[in-house]
């Protein structure tokens, strides 16, 4: 028995609609396959490309650049650093902000290097030496201050024939902008042996710097110091200074300051005095040993201009290395020399310390 004519007609319309929908779906699939870039298949953005002068080709994601070094995240070797001087061409897909050596800021342009020269936003090529920072921090663009600091402690507990308790502490912090800087530090030592105090001293230091033509600056210093067992009830000084950042790279940093100050010294036994003085401050740090370690030397000197044989020189030599979660350990040697020490007090005091601290 044959199907009714109405049923055959309905079946034909159903087949017609189904075939049209299948054809439309095939056309859309073809269109998407042709129009989408290859990277859409994997969901990954196109990689940045660096070609070195020796012909090597590196693919990855450029995350920044400073001190003549570009940082790249790669799939094959993690994060790598490359000297810009070794780069022949560089093409970055993302826009970024460039800070040039003359403080010019170029925003929302891809980082591009061609034939060893910087090409920024279609401008004329520039020597690579003019590129200071890629992706600068807000404070480097004149937006607020960068806050850094550290706090650490060194302690010794000894029980037995002799009971000893020794505590050294240090706090340093800094706020820096493009035009000025504030620095605060406080350190001290408290020691006991058989419940008798053998050391009780502290030193507080405050500085304000105003940056002139790079790398020079000038500033004001205020400092106070107490050392009970050196008969020093209080030494305070205040005065201006000039400074220079001779070198400032991730590998080596050297800064020096020289100033004049007015000093007042109050003693428990000796006669109090005040005098004009000249003072200096030297800071050197280096990452030469690698492994994110930091080798540093700091020296502060104070020279009595009324009694030129009276000089104070405090020198610290240290090696710090990171632990976990911004904690660090440091080994230090501190030499404190005071040619004008009162009778019964040694001119030179030498301290060895192992410190554990936190940095930010």
The answer to whether 188 and 203 are in contact (CB under 8 A) is yes
In the numeric block, the tokens 């970055």 are attached to 92
Please list the pLDDT of the chain residue by residue as tens digits (360 residues).
444 444 455 555 556 565 655 555 555 444 444 444 444 444 455 689 999 999 999 999 999 898 889 999 998 888 998 999 899 999 988 889 999 988 889 999 988 999 889 987 666 888 888 899 999 999 999 999 999 999 999 887 767 666 788 899 999 999 999 999 999 999 999 988 888 888 899 999 999 999 998 899 999 999 999 998 889 999 999 999 999 999 988 789 999 999 999 999 999 888 999 999 999 999 999 998 887 899 999 999 999 999 999 999 999 999 999 999 999 999 999 999 999 887 777 889 888 889 999 999
Rounded distance between C-alpha atoms, residue 288 and residue 305, angstroms: 38
Rounded distance between C-alpha atoms, residue 294 and residue 284, angstroms: 10
At residue 149, the pLDDT reads 97
The answer to whether 285 and 256 are in contact (CB under 8 A) is no
Rounded distance between C-alpha atoms, residue 197 and residue 33, angstroms: 82
**Tokens representing residue 155 in the block:** 């302690």
At residue 245, the pLDDT reads 96
Ramachandran category for residue 305: left, alpha or beta (phi over 0 → left; psi -120 to 50 → alpha): alpha
Helix (H, G, I), strand (E, B) or coil at 326: coil
At residue 230, the pLDDT reads 86
Which domains, ranges and CATH numbers included, belong to the chain? Answer: 48-136 (no CATH), 146-359 (2.40.160.40)
Output the pTM of the full model. Answer: 0.77
Give the HSE-up count for residue 143: Cα atoms under 13 Å, Cβ half-sphere.
5
């Amino acid at each position: 028995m044959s199907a009714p004519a109405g049923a055959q007609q309905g079946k034909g319309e159903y087949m017609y609609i189904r075939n049209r929908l299948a054809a439309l779906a095939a056309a859309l699939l073809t269109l998407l396959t042709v129009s989408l870039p290859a990277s859409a298949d994997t969901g990954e953005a196109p990689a940045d490309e660096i070609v070195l002068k020796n012909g090597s080709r590196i693919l990855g994601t450029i995350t920044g650049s400073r001190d003549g070094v570009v940082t790249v995240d790669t799939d094959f070797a993690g994060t790598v650093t490359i000297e810009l001087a070794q780069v022949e061409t560089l093409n970055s897909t993302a826009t970024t902000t460039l800070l040039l050596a003359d403080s010019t800021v170029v925003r929302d342009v891809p980082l591009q290097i061609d034939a060893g020269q910087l090409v920024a936003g279609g401008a004329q090529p520039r020597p690579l030496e003019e590129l200071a920072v890629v992706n600068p921090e807000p404070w480097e663009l004149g937006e607020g201050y960068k806050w850094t600091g550290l706090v650490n402690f060194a302690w010794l507990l000894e029980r037995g024939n002799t009971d000893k308790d020794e505590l050294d502490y240090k706090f340093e912090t800094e706020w820096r902008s493009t035009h000025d800087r504030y620095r605060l530090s406080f350190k001290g030592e408290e020691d006991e042996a058989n419940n008798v105090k053998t050391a009780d001293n502290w030193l507080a230091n405050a500085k304000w710097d105003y940056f002139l033509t790079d790398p020079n600056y000038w500033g004001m210093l205020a400092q106070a110091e107490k050392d009970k067992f050196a008969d020093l009830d209080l030494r305070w000084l205040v005065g201006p200074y000039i400074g220079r950042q001779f070198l400032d790279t991730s590998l080596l940093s050297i800064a020096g300051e020289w100033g004049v100050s007015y000093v007042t010294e109050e003693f428990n036994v000796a006669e109090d005095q005040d005098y004009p003085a000249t003072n200096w401050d030297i800071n050197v740090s280096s990452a030469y040993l690698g492994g994110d370690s930091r080798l540093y030397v700091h020296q502060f000197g104070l020279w009595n201009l009324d009694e030129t044989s009276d000089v104070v020189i405090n020198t610290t030599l240290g090696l710090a290395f990171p632990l976990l979660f911004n904690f660090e350990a440091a080994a230090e040697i501190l030499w404190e020399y005071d040619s004008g020490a009162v009778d019964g007090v040694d001119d030179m005091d030498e301290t060895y310390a192992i410190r554990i601290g936190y940095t930010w």
